[in-house]
Structure 1
Amino acid sequence: MELSRADLEILVALQENSRLTNRELAKRLGAAESTTHERLRRLVRGGVIKRFTAEIDLAALGRPMQAMIAVRLRPQSEDVVERFLRTVMDDPCVVDAIVVSGEIDVLLRVAVQSAEHLRTFAWRKVTSAKSVQSITTHLVYEYRRRPITAPP
């Protein structure tokens, strides 16, 4: 799907605040509400917008500490990765799981109450999976996300 400048502006606006009304969106774009509504419907139908979500302040939920846990699995196979992900994804401290290439197989972003909770999760949940060869934990000092607008 080819995206116009107006489409990209809609994407940026909704990534900043997915609760914008169609009227607010149209005003921001300087376009008619009907035009904006149709563009938005086309972006959703075309699969460019997959869903509308809320960004949660993890600290407000009592989980102010975030970490990235790099997990190395052995043997390397799709089945091993799937089993590992099923093991860890049911834990509420897991925010994201990313399967990557290279020496590391999975990156987990977790949000926990304290260093003790992080240690407990890493030792009891992550390393309890038989396929885990090693883990490396990195504390997150700051997390920033920028709007995605178009292919590079």
Structure 2
Amino acid sequence: MKLDATDRRLLSVLQVKGRISNSDLADQVNMSASACHRRVGRLEAEGYIRDYVALVDPRKVDRRTTVFVEITLSGQTEDVLVAFEKAVALIPDVLECHLMAGSADYLLKVVAKDTDDFAKIHRTFLAKLPGVTQMQSSFALRTVFKTTALPL
């Protein structure tokens, strides 16, 4: 299915206001409520909308420190990559893991309470990941801008 202008408007609103009522969403995109409901159902069924989530404020749950960790592996064979990806997916403090092109093989986004907590995460989990030959961590001083909304 190809997205049309109405689909894009629906997705744009839902990315910002995921809990909006169907009636209010229909009003915002100038559709009837029933047509809006059918469109959103189709966008869900076809995988354009993967999930609805609550975005939790990290400060409120004592996760004030964000660390970006560059990982270099011992090799790029399928076995090495699969073993690393399975193991890193089990670490609850890792929010994102990206296979990279460039000097590092992976880039992780890790959240921690503080630097001591990150040191514990590093010792307990990161240092034990399979195939890792080098790690470089960079601490975010402040989040200037953050969004989950994709440009449509």
TM-score (norm 1): 0.88
Shift of 1:25: 0.6
The more displaced of 93-102 and 64-73 is: 93-102
Unaligned runs of 5+ in 1: none
Asked if structure 2 preserves the Cα contact closer than 8 Å seen for 1:74 and 1:132, the reply is yes
Asked if structure 1 preserves the Cα contact closer than 8 Å seen for 2:67 and 2:109, the reply is yes
Asked if structure 2 preserves the Cα contact closer than 8 Å seen for 1:100 and 1:106, the reply is yes
Q: Distance in 2 between matches of 1:38 and 1:17?
A: 18
3-state SS in 2 of match to 1:127: helix
User: 1:20: which partner in 2?
Assistant: 20
Give the number of aligned pairs.
150
Asked if structure 2 preserves the Cα contact closer than 8 Å seen for 1:22 and 1:33, the reply is yes
User: 1:101: which partner in 2?
Assistant: 101
User: 1:144: which partner in 2?
Assistant: 146
Alignment of 1:13-52 (within 5 A): 13-52=13-52
TM-score (norm 2): 0.88
User: 2:64: which partner in 1?
Assistant: 64
Unaligned runs of 5+ in 2: none
Asked if structure 2 preserves the Cα contact closer than 8 Å seen for 1:7 and 1:39, the reply is yes
Asked if structure 2 preserves the Cα contact closer than 8 Å seen for 1:11 and 1:149, the reply is no
Q: Deviations over 1:48-93 (max 9, x none)?
A: 1122222221221111111111111112223212222332322221
3-state SS in 2 of match to 1:31: coil
Q: Distance in 1 between matches of 2:114 and 2:107?
A: 20
